[in-house]
Structure 1
Amino acid sequence: MAILVFRFSILSVFLFQVLSVAASIGSSSTVKFLPGFSGPLPFVLETGYVGVGEKEEVQLFYYFVKSEGNPEKDPLILWHTGGPGCSGLSGLAFEIGPLNFKEQRYNGSLPQLILNPFSWTKNSSIIFLDLPVGTGFSYGKTSEALRTGDFGQVQTSHQFLKKWLTDYHPEFISNPFYVGGDSYTGLIVPIVTHEILEGNKHLLPFVNLQGYILGNPITIRNSNKNFAIPFAHRMALISDELFESLTTSCKGEYVNIHPTNEDCLRHYDTYEKSVSEIFDGNILLPKCPSVSSKLQDVSARRSLYKTPKVLHDLKPPFPTLACPTYKYLLSYYWANDNQVRKALRIQEGSIGEWIRCQYGDDYSFDIDSSFPYHVNLSSKGYRSLIYSGDHDMVVPHLDTQAWIKSLNYSIVDDWRPWFIMDQVAGYTRTYANKMTFATIKGGGHTAEYTQKECSVVFNRWISNKSL
């Protein structure tokens, strides 16, 4: 009898999980209050899941912020956060969204949220998506559903958009639509944009595609790493002599150095020692310990039917309050709070610990370049905004300028400064085929380091105004 009761109990738990998941499919909720934010939210926030795949085995979680201007006519943006595998919460609360974490020393209470006065949602509606599956609060219902990669991201992003527009918000189908992202999604966003363009041929639904937006984008795999050395030289991080030795011995290839090229290996080792204490996300800022959560998901993927292996790290390397990564630590405490999960309507039992950035061993890096898609999209007249923080050493502006130059577009408005309140905030150049490039003075790898400047660039561009 005890064995029967025990088996019945297991079956009951299993059925409860299955029914709970079934109930979550196609779910969305308006969130009026968020733990950590004082009072009702002064903007419309919706969270939910969209099931994609033949049996909706992939459940993608999203945050949708409706434009604070004129949402019936303002642009709609599907935003992809880099990584791969960084949560859409990064875009929402660190970079371009309406919220920021209040950067104060953690005292055991829930981290506080404040408004970002430079949110891009002032005049655009934005969907912040947890992509690929296993990122943030997105989860898979089977082990097979958790297998993904670059092209997998592209396909699920497109499926998500079609379903979100037709089943959730058909009122946005006619709004001007843009695909956006930063960092690693430089490989993803142009191809998603192309897939939407191709999908429009079938008219289900016809998306009012206008273009795409990319910040510090990886475009040709590993090219950014090769450009890190000339960038370091220009920024006086390495000497003229070392740069000349590297150039001569390595011949511009610093990623796959042949083991017999001893001179190149020796000089590259000297280079690495020279920049080892530099924060490559923004070389102006201090280098600090990376945020490590107390429970590290070794499998780096979550599923209802797979128990993750975890390492108990009792003394993770926490950054100090002065560190640019401190806000990431606050996000761990916030997103893993039970009250926060209830407010966001997170499906119980779907994931364990929320981790800001992660991807699994089964992720396929199967896109080497998005360059041909830039060529294709611009030849068809789609707009593009490419911006670069000029102090980012992860994807240096030199890398971005090089592939843009190789497009061989005519220059419409040549290199010049752009201003905020009569002060130079960066430099810009506009090309034929509706491509605009802009640098952000003092900017880093994402918009989080220069929120005001990035918002000004975006607002002028999205409004069809000159920078």
Structure 2
Amino acid sequence: MYSTTSCLVIILVLSGTAISKSIIKTLPGYTGDLPFNLETGYVSVGELDDVQLFYYFIESEGSPKEDPLMLWLTGGPGCSGFSGLVYEIGPLNFNTLDFDGNFPTFILNPYSWTKVASIIFLDAPVGTGFSYANNTESSSIMDDKISAAQTYQFFRKWLNDHSEFTSNDFYVGGDSYSGIVVPIIVQEIYKGNEVGRTPIIKLQGYILGNPLTSEHDDPNSRVEFAHRVALISDQLFKSAKTNCDGEYVNVDSNNTECVKDIEIITECIAQINRPQILEPTCSLKSPNSTTQIKWDRRFVGENPTDFLLLSSQQNSRLWCREYNYLLSYIWANDETVQEALHVREGTLKEWMRCNWGLAYTQTVLSSVAYHQYLLSNTNYRALIYSGDHDMLVPYVGTHAWIDALNLTISDDWKPWFVDGQVAGYSMAYYYYGYHLTYATVKGGGHTAPEYKPKECLAMLRRWFAYYPF
């Protein structure tokens, strides 16, 4: 399918826009040729075609002609697709155990989702990863709907240029904040197909991991979650539930009893590592505040300068998970790496795993209405999964909005297994032709594949194969 040359750069003009792509055979930090097909490139989108979205495309290591094609968005908004590639579901992981403070190296991930699917890891929206705009206006006006529209535009152009994949089943996937944007993208694709917009995309459904779905409901569910996992007492939970009437985010400052309960709850969970409650906290977290019940995307951010100081203090032994993210900063900001990836020179001052300074406005406070539209109008399949030790987007909140869709239950709550052990619990729902599977991943955090890669690959493989959990 690919040229045998080590690097291929093609400039194509489609509808007055440019697409550039490069075939990558080797990468700094990996010894020898890559054992999978990697392509990187830019696709121009936006009203003026001045937004350049960067992507990593990895062909399925199974059967690219038959296996599904998936577009994957990492959360944030503003987290690079590279983060999803090396820390979650891609074929490379950083070799953290042998990191000596010098240049990072890679090991292969035996549980990569590219074992069963071809995946496009996209740096979206603009300002994420290596994506950039030719003018400041296009990079300073961005919100959920604009981002979704540009992502849809990206994929149409990408598919036009990769026509060999037009017959593959297609899925849109993402995690964390992508729980807001992905359902919008899916609706855009459905409507585009309905009016005959080319190319017709063979969309089969969507996949969401640890998804933020509601700016209010997901953070609000943290109190119930904290009670279920014994972070707050029965008495405190009952008191807060009564005094706050189940409202823990928008607290009435005049309700002194509720305010008092929230202060105690905040104190109880302040030093808990929210992405995975059983793992240690690190000093890289954002400062604690009285608004901790609220969703704050910066809470999972990091300061690479702090990383460098802390890693040297620990003799370069990455004893805390957050320190592992340091390696992506060292690697992606290296000039030889950017040359190898064919990043356009001069388009980026500094690569960040997650750009928390992104100019972005959240305009969709809940994506539930988009799920409701899809279940009422399509025959798509949806896989929603949660790491059950995630307190950023607790499984109890995710399960609650799924139940509120009033779908018919086809398989009630039951365990699913990997290697004879319980890997989590699942439920299956349907509404006419629409089918939704919800699964928890036992011991998983935010997001689940980073913590439980073997189990999550098994989950995806079964779902793609229509195999019951």
Q: TM-score when scaled to structure 1? A: 0.88
Tell me which residue corresponds to 1:145.
Answer: 138
Tell me which residue corresponds to 1:306.
Answer: none
> For residues 48 and 312 of structure 1, do their structure 2 counterparts lie closer, same or farther at Cα, with a shift above 3 Å needed?
closer
2:63 to 61, 70, 75: 70
Tell me which residue corresponds to 2:188.
Answer: 195
**Which moved further from structure 2: 377-386 or 398-407?**
377-386
**Which moved further from structure 2: 224-233 or 283-292?**
283-292
1:361 and 1:65 map into 2 onto residues whose CA distance is: 27
| 1:246 to partner: Cα distance | 1.2
Tell me which residue corresponds to 2:329.
Answer: 332
| 1:187 to partner: Cα distance | 0.7
The reply to whether residue 54 of structure 1 matches residue 47 of structure 2 is: yes
Tell me which residue corresponds to 2:237.
Answer: 243
Tell me which residue corresponds to 2:397.
Answer: 399
| 1:361 to partner: Cα distance | 6.1
The reply to whether residue 103 of structure 1 matches residue 105 of structure 2 is: no
Tell me which residue corresponds to 1:455.
Answer: 457
| 1:389 to partner: Cα distance | 0.6
Render the CA deviation track for 1:3-52: whole Å, top value 9, x for unaligned: xxxxxxxxxxxxxxxxxxxxx94211011101001111000000011011
1:347 and 1:384 map into 2 onto residues whose CA distance is: 36
Equivalent residue runs for 1:51-450 within 5 Å: 51-104=44-97, 106-146=99-139, 147-166=141-160, 168-200=161-193, 201-290=195-284, 318=310, 321-360=318-357, 362-379=359-376, 380-432=378-430, 433-446=434-447, 447-450=449-452
> For residues 312 and 425 of structure 1, do their structure 2 counterparts lie closer, same or farther at Cα, with a shift above 3 Å needed?
closer
Aligned length: 425
SS at 1:224 equivalent = helix
Give the partner amino acid of 2:227.
Answer: H
Give the partner amino acid of 2:466.
Answer: N
2:164 and 2:285 map into 1 onto residues whose CA distance is: 40
Instruction: Give yes or no for contact 2:127–2:358 (8 Å, CA) kept in 1.
Output: no
> For residues 315 and 40 of structure 1, do their structure 2 counterparts lie closer, same or farther at Cα, with a shift above 3 Å needed?
closer
Give the partner amino acid of 1:348.
Answer: E
Render the CA deviation track for 1:199-243: whole Å, top value 9, x for unaligned: 112231100010000001111222111100010001000111211
> For residues 312 and 137 of structure 1, do their structure 2 counterparts lie closer, same or farther at Cα, with a shift above 3 Å needed?
closer
2:105 and 2:26 map into 1 onto residues whose CA distance is: 13
Q: RMSD of aligned C-alpha atoms?
A: 1.8
Tell me which residue corresponds to 2:468.
Answer: 466
2:305 and 2:88 map into 1 onto residues whose CA distance is: 29
Tell me which residue corresponds to 1:307.
Answer: none
Instruction: Give yes or no for contact 1:52–1:59 (8 Å, CA) kept in 2.
Output: yes
1:221 and 1:86 map into 2 onto residues whose CA distance is: 18
1:59 and 1:74 map into 2 onto residues whose CA distance is: 28
Give the partner amino acid of 2:113.
Answer: W
Structure 2: unaligned runs, 5 residues or longer: 1-16, 287-302
SS at 1:160 equivalent = helix
SS at 1:27 equivalent = strand
Instruction: Give yes or no for contact 2:223–2:237 (8 Å, CA) kept in 1.
Output: yes
Instruction: Give yes or no for contact 1:291–1:318 (8 Å, CA) kept in 2.
Output: no
| 1:76 to partner: Cα distance | 0.5
> For residues 202 and 312 of structure 1, do their structure 2 counterparts lie closer, same or farther at Cα, with a shift above 3 Å needed?
closer
Render the CA deviation track for 1:133-172: whole Å, top value 9, x for unaligned: 0001101111111021111210111010011011x21111
1:237 and 1:226 map into 2 onto residues whose CA distance is: 15
1:208 and 1:395 map into 2 onto residues whose CA distance is: 30
| 1:362 to partner: Cα distance | 3.3
Structure 1: unaligned runs, 5 residues or longer: 1-23, 293-310
2:389 and 2:225 map into 1 onto residues whose CA distance is: 9
**Which moved further from structure 2: 110-119 or 246-255?**
246-255
| 1:332 to partner: Cα distance | 0.6
Instruction: Give yes or no for contact 1:220–1:370 (8 Å, CA) kept in 2.
Output: yes
Give the partner amino acid of 1:127.
Answer: I
**Which moved further from structure 2: 258-267 or 225-234?**
258-267
Instruction: Give yes or no for contact 2:80–2:353 (8 Å, CA) kept in 1.
Output: yes
| 1:402 to partner: Cα distance | 0.4
Instruction: Give yes or no for contact 1:318–1:329 (8 Å, CA) kept in 2.
Output: no
1:211 and 1:154 map into 2 onto residues whose CA distance is: 16
2:271 and 2:362 map into 1 onto residues whose CA distance is: 29
Render the CA deviation track for 1:224-283: whole Å, top value 9, x for unaligned: 111000100010001112111211221111112122122222211111111111110011
> For residues 240 and 317 of structure 1, do their structure 2 counterparts lie closer, same or farther at Cα, with a shift above 3 Å needed?
farther
Render the CA deviation track for 1:182-203: whole Å, top value 9, x for unaligned: 1111011111001001111223
1:191 and 1:352 map into 2 onto residues whose CA distance is: 31
Larger C-alpha radius of gyration, 1 or 2?
1
SS at 1:42 equivalent = coil
Instruction: Give yes or no for contact 1:178–1:209 (8 Å, CA) kept in 2.
Output: yes
SS at 1:434 equivalent = strand
Instruction: Give yes or no for contact 1:103–1:326 (8 Å, CA) kept in 2.
Output: no
Give the partner amino acid of 1:86.
Answer: C
SS at 2:221 equivalent = helix
2:32 and 2:175 map into 1 onto residues whose CA distance is: 31
SS at 1:453 equivalent = helix
2:146 and 2:310 map into 1 onto residues whose CA distance is: 33
| 1:290 to partner: Cα distance | 2.7
**What percentage of residue pairs aligned between the two structures are identical?**
52
